[in-house]
Structure 1
Amino acid sequence: MLPLHIFEDRYRALVRHLVGLPEGTPREFGVVAIRAGWEVGPTAPDGRPLPGDDVTLHEVGCTAELRQVTELPDGGYDIVTVGRRRFRMGTVDRASAPYLTAEVEWLPEPDAPDEAAELPAARVIAVFRQYLGLIRADPAEIPEQLPEDPTVLSHLVAATAALTIADRQRLLAIDDTAARLRAELRLLNREAALLRQVRAVPVPLKELAAPPTPN
């Protein structure tokens, strides 16, 4: 789930385009993390921001499907989206629209139960509950039930855990559910161990600071 406040003219144009699609057409746009550079570059003569020429993007992204659109009095939008399909980017077009577009290759998702993922899924559920207990003070905030489908579980963990952009990107790029769950198990064990240490030993906040991300 990804709620967004749309205020830039180029993304207002994107939302208008999606809303105007014929009924039954998927209303999806791509979300890609920035590897280096900045999304916004120089401004056009009319003052609108232009995509940064020096920005480099990660190859693997995910589509976000519009689920709810609220138009605001100033012409902007509040939207609610849900992640749908992973893709690998090809050629990026910076000129055909106010926003970046690209040719993409859809990445595979399992369409049948994966028996190899059942064991790591059970382990991830156990460690994920421990992790949530460390980051959420109120036990009521910890869900009683987690998805039984290993693939859905793997994406939920990746979206919920407080991971770095680099960690999230590595998880997103893994095609195999069992491999993604095993990677998440390592990350959750690492994060849980760090949380236990931080709670036990006072650490100056400056030592916990992470470098800024352009995303």
Structure 2
Amino acid sequence: MTTTRLPLFPLHAVLFPGLVMPLNVFEARYRALVSDLLRLPEDGPRPFGVVAIREGYEVAPPGRGLPGEPGVSVPDTRPGAGFAPDPMDSFHPIGCVADATTIRPREVGGRSPGGEGGDAGGEGPGSFEVLATGTTRFRLLSVEAAGRYLVGEVELLEEEPGEGAEVLATGVLRAFRAYQQRLAGAYERSLVPGTELPEEPSVVSYLVAAATVLDTAEKQALLEAPDTAARLARELRLLRREIGVIGKLPSVPAVELTRRPTNPN
């Protein structure tokens, strides 16, 4: 069993290996995390762990207010603010290692944007724009909340192909193209514009999981699939369901559905 310690970045979203996720980092605890990543060599990996939140908040709730100023709320800057006393209870058990391939500091009028982020307990004013690339799945073993941000002990998971992955990948690609056509409708848009779809089963499984419009729980279930074949089989059922649902709708706002916003924190 290969284990390691990773800074944790909880989100109401799921990151998949091989896929990219933009992050807008403005909260004090996550600015501290990114500041530490910036201290790592620029030409090497800058890893952290993305975990989906089962119960809790991406942005910390307000604290009790400033001393001497009743009723004035300030952010709770503790690493585990907004989560259960044992943060393990707030997160899904399987996450994804992310590599901060691009980090851009952004100053906004001498203070962090977004209100809740504030500057108390952070690494200075402003925020960060981070481009995170998923690399490897992990199982969360424990969470430590003693420092400036959450740190997890994780077990790195190898991707097992499973039985019949290649055949399933062919069926999923066929269904995904049909799904794209239905979703795009008259807009003639693609969820993967100008890109040829891959053939390698594990890559297909993660690309389709990321690109299909599903809720967080369904995406998390795909991330947690025991192997590639199991993930592809589940995706085939989901795609067939979604194609049927879309076919019954009078119109589909494809542009809105395919727009992927930056994840704020």
Category of TM-score, reference length = shorter chain? 0.7 to 0.9
Match of residue 208 from structure 1: none
SS at match of 1:198: coil
Distance 1:123 1:8 in 2: 43
Counterpart of 2:63, as a letter, is: T
Unaligned runs of 5+ in 1: 201-214
Alpha-carbon offset, residue 92 of structure 1? 1.0
Contact 1:33–1:61 (CA under 8 A) maintained in structure 2? yes
Distance 2:83 2:132 in 1: 27
Match of residue 109 from structure 1: 159
Match of residue 206 from structure 1: none
Contact 1:42–1:52 (CA under 8 A) maintained in structure 2? no
Aligned length: 198
Contact 1:41–1:53 (CA under 8 A) maintained in structure 2? no
Indicate yes or no: 2:100 matched with 1:66: yes
Contact 2:140–2:155 (CA under 8 A) maintained in structure 1? yes
Indicate yes or no: 2:179 matched with 1:125: no
CA spacing shift, 1:115–1:145, aligned 2, 3 Å: farther
SS at match of 2:29: helix
Counterpart of 1:152, as a letter, is: V
* 1:169 aligned residue (214, 217, 220): 220
Superposed structure 1 runs of 4+ greater than 6 Å apart = none
* 2:49 aligned residue (24, 27, 30): 30
Indicate yes or no: 2:180 matched with 1:139: no
Alpha-carbon offset, residue 24 of structure 1? 5.3
Alpha-carbon offset, residue 18 of structure 1? 0.7
Distance 2:246 2:229 in 1: 25
Match of residue 6 from structure 2: none
SS at match of 1:186: helix
Match of residue 99 from structure 1: 149
Distance 2:136 2:75 in 1: 30
With 38-47 and 56-65 compared, the bigger mean Cα shift is at 38-47
* 2:205 aligned residue (135, 145, 154): 154
> C-alpha deviations, 1:19-47, integer Å up to 9, x for none?
11135542111111111233424538774
Alpha-carbon offset, residue 155 of structure 1? 0.2
Match of residue 261 from structure 2: none
Q: Percent identity?
A: 42
RMSD: 2.3
Match of residue 27 from structure 2: 8
State the structure with bigger RCO (CA 8 A, min sep 6), 1 or 2.
Answer: 2
> C-alpha deviations, 1:160-201, integer Å up to 9, x for none?
00011111111101131111101100010011111111238x
Match of residue 38 from structure 2: 19
Larger relative helix fraction: 1
Tell me the TM-score normalised to structure 2 length. Answer: 0.68
